[in-house]
Structure 1
Amino acid sequence: MDDTFVNAHHDMPADPASAARVARRGLRLTRLRNDDLAEFAAWQRSVTRGFLEGERTEVQRDTGFDLLRYRRLIAVLDDSAPEPDEPVATFASWVGVLSVPGGQLPSCGISGVTVSPTHRRRGLARAMMEGELRVAVESGLPIASLTVTESTIYGRYGFAPAASVASLELDVKRTSWAGPVPDGRIDFISRDRWRAQAPEVFDRIRAVRPGEFEMPGGHWDRFAGTRPDAEKPGQLRAIQYADVAGVVRGLALYTVTENDQDYTKSSVTLHSLLADGDDAYAALWRYFVELDLIATVRASELSIDEPLLWMISDRRAATVTTFDHHYLRVLDVPAVLGARRYAAPGRFVLDVDDPFGFTTGEYTLDVDADGAGTVQAGDAGAEGSVRVQLGVAELSALVLGQVSAVTLAAAGRIRTADVVALDRTFRWDIPARLSYWY
């Protein structure tokens, strides 16, 4: 991605309308510099409190300062507080690449959104979100994305869960491997080697998997425990799968927890499993299902339709919990719908309602027999168009092809005379997923 585009978004001033709204509350909204350690440390302390975490050590502070310079940091300050340099609300954003069905597009990634319990019910979250979405629109970003700790917050801003994921707990004593046994080999590798290979494998995966987001700065080293502030990195174990040609197609990171009362009932927690292709997927999962001395395997951020469930002899050995994970918010309808591919041809007039007004209006989407879509503003008046009334949140939910238009219509969230045609066009055969938190 063009660094000029990325830097332009990063360096834009705080939204003046939101700053004025916050000022009427006697507070100050500002974009922080990325070269002031004390300023960053105060922002970081507020974020960790907001997410119920402890204060960072000096090493963690310095590491975060070095690795998070790419993020645009917003703070709300209370100059009347005993410590006026400590933010009472925080927000972070940056530009990354989001994978959509058959394509990719730039997205405004959002994280670190907190409001101090001492300053709740003052509209601070709304002011920051509205302002930063306006900045994203002015920067030319067509969509915004985030992972959430609470499901109830972001719908009011036009976001919707577009890629849900699953957590899995597998009783491996109860089941056995019933899937394919690929050629190739699995080997232990160092965490440094895992760190060096993971970006290339992940980029091959995210090129085709809707919902994956370009890995933010510092995350690979956080996973691998190769950052200076890593805690107990020696507990991580890394493996790779290489195909018969010697190409690394799969990687995994995991930890083992011993059961001191019965070592044969120890457990494994998967922290990352990257599989480029069916063979890599089968080989890595077979490794974990058949590990000696292990009774339980736990993994999270999985697909809601994992092939693993068809690769074990007893499906009831797996306890699966699904939850909402990757939320999207469309900011430019033609850009987003024009960037993805579709499963079936069709012509639709989308009447979109947007609480912030960014996307409110009518749009004509034409999808050809090859699955390519073109979008123009307004009702093109084309014969045979299917009219659809929906909010920007519902449109955002449909972007990755995981959420069913039929389900949304049954829930009263979409109105159309031919929801089956809409669903047939927007659904996608590769399950959407985001494999990590950001």
Structure 2
Amino acid sequence: MDFTDAPIDTTAVANLAEQKLSLELLDIANDRDKAVGFEAVVNRGFYGERSDEKDIEFLLDATAYRRTTAVWDATEPAVEPVATVASWTTPLSVPGGGTVPAWAISAVTVAPTHRRRGIARNLLEAELRTAAACAVPVAALTASEATIYGRFGFAPSAQVAKITIDTKRTAWAGSTPTGRVRFMELSDLFEQGPAIFERERVQHPGEIELDEALWCEILDYRPGKADKAKDLRAIGYTDAAGDLQGFAAYRVKESSDDTLTAKVAHLAAATDDAYAALWRFLLELDLVRAVEADLRSLDEPVLWQLSDVRAAKVEPFDHLWLRILDPIAALEARTYSRQGSIVLDVVDPLEFAQGRFLLEIDGEGTAAVCRLTGDVPEDAAHATLSERDLALIYVGGASATALHSAGRIVEGTPGAATLVDAAFHSPVAPRLGVGF
């Protein structure tokens, strides 16, 4: 689904106009000067290095499909805006191997000269209203600051971890795959890697689809612009039939104590054999004292493939933030781990997800969801929760039982939180292995 040309939100336009601020939709293809100014402001907002002309041209072409909006100060005519946001639709993996359309929000910046004027609020609420108008059930983002997005109904729905393994303290205790690990040319990795990423993505709730811009950002590499990837090494795992089933890209860096650390840029495996072979290769690198991998699952299998699990340091942090806009479409998209009837009363101050919803989950884990205007059926588990709590449990990233104990989910029937927990449980821990 492409909503690049979706109309600009009139409510936000009117609110900002009262302060002589203009909210506009950029046409990247036909207004290159403003598009270049947009990228410069985003880069500055996230303290990135200045991009050269070729980098900017590539990025503008690679992200031309995104819906790009910005705010200009009418009292200070300039090419560069004072606030930015970009968005696009992407399939979000959900429990059970399915996907749901998600409105990905990125590049949110407000210039320090224009803070505390309600610009961010108008930008974010405009994005949510536009997504809802386009019938996209879920909004998603990664948050650089955790306190900003809760007021808009977002919640940290999937945690990830930075994993550091002391390779001198442990040995490989996993299986021995029958395939082979070989070094890959970066050009081959760039071409073949996304297909492996996609095969793995659908196995992990919380992942989004890879595009060219995200792929280049993961590797810090693209064909014809390899200067930043001189130290990047790539390996691939091929099975007994000779088919590529996984890859890893890594850099070996000197640490502060003069030891060498292998820093994994990305590892993707479509099969368990590929996963085991790639991790074993990294853990057995000569001269390397530690392997460090970011944006990994909290339930990473490699932790149980070590002879000493204490050799691994796991540092969890929030990464994927979700906002439910259409509970019916969102809840019907995923699969559940328990059969039964559940009624959820969702309280949403912004009213996108407000209402009482009945989930009828069959023996296959498929749910039929509808709005319920009458009383709760006698055989249904009944609970009341906020739109943020619904986002927390949506892909299995939080326990309804824990949220009930914390006073956030209120039971309407005895034991409802436990039943909701069992239904929403995901056998695979959710994660998001990319930033956007």
Residues 47/260 of structure 1: CA separation in 2 closer, same or farther (3 Å cut): closer
Aligned length, in residue pairs: 429
Deviations 1:378-427 (A, max 9, x none): 24642211211111111111111121111111222111132111100001
Normalised by the length of structure 2, the TM-score is 0.95
Pick one of 227, 249, 252 that aligns with 1:253.
249
Runs of 5+ consecutive residues of structure 1 not aligned to the other structure: none
Residues 57/322 of structure 1: CA separation in 2 closer, same or farther (3 Å cut): same
Deviations 1:51-104 (A, max 9, x none): 1223322122111111110111110100212x5332111000001111101211
TM-aligned CA deviation for residue 261 of structure 1: 8.5
3-state SS, counterpart of residue 230 of structure 2:
helix
State percent identity of aligned pairs: 41
Residues 230/92 of structure 1: CA separation in 2 closer, same or farther (3 Å cut): farther
Which stretch of structure 1 is more off in the superposition, 354-363 or 48-57? 48-57
For the Cα contact (< 8 Å) 1:349–1:379, is it kept in 2? Answer: no
**Residues 1:390 and 2:388 are matched in the alignment:** no
Structure 1 distance, partners of 2:28, 2:128, is 20
Deviations 1:296-344 (A, max 9, x none): 1111000001111111122222111000001111111110001110000
**Residues 1:191 and 2:186 are matched in the alignment:** yes
For the Cα contact (< 8 Å) 1:29–1:74, is it kept in 2? Answer: yes
State the partner residue of 1:149: 144
**Residues 1:132 and 2:127 are matched in the alignment:** yes
Structure 1 distance, partners of 2:291, 2:200, is 23
State the partner residue of 2:234: 238
State the partner residue of 2:267: 273
Computed over aligned residues only, the root mean square deviation of the Cα atoms, in angstroms, reads 1.6
Pick one of 35, 39, 43 that aligns with 1:44.
39
3-state SS, counterpart of residue 212 of structure 2:
coil
3-state SS, counterpart of residue 59 of structure 2:
helix
For the Cα contact (< 8 Å) 1:63–1:228, is it kept in 2? Answer: no
**Residues 1:347 and 2:341 are matched in the alignment:** yes
For the Cα contact (< 8 Å) 2:248–2:278, is it kept in 1? Answer: yes
Amino acid across the alignment from 1:193: D
Structure 2 distance, partners of 1:52, 1:248, is 37
Runs of 5+ consecutive residues of structure 2 not aligned to the other structure: none
Structure 1 distance, partners of 2:394, 2:256, is 48
Structure 2 distance, partners of 1:61, 1:176, is 45
Residues 142/230 of structure 1: CA separation in 2 closer, same or farther (3 Å cut): farther
Pick one of 52, 56, 70 that aligns with 2:65.
70
For the Cα contact (< 8 Å) 1:96–1:216, is it kept in 2? Answer: no
Pick one of 117, 126, 144 that aligns with 1:122.
117
State the partner residue of 1:96: 90
Taking the TM superposition and a 5 Å limit, the aligned residue runs for 1:102-113 are 102=96, 103-113=98-108
**Residues 1:206 and 2:201 are matched in the alignment:** yes
Pick one of 223, 226, 240 that aligns with 2:222.
226
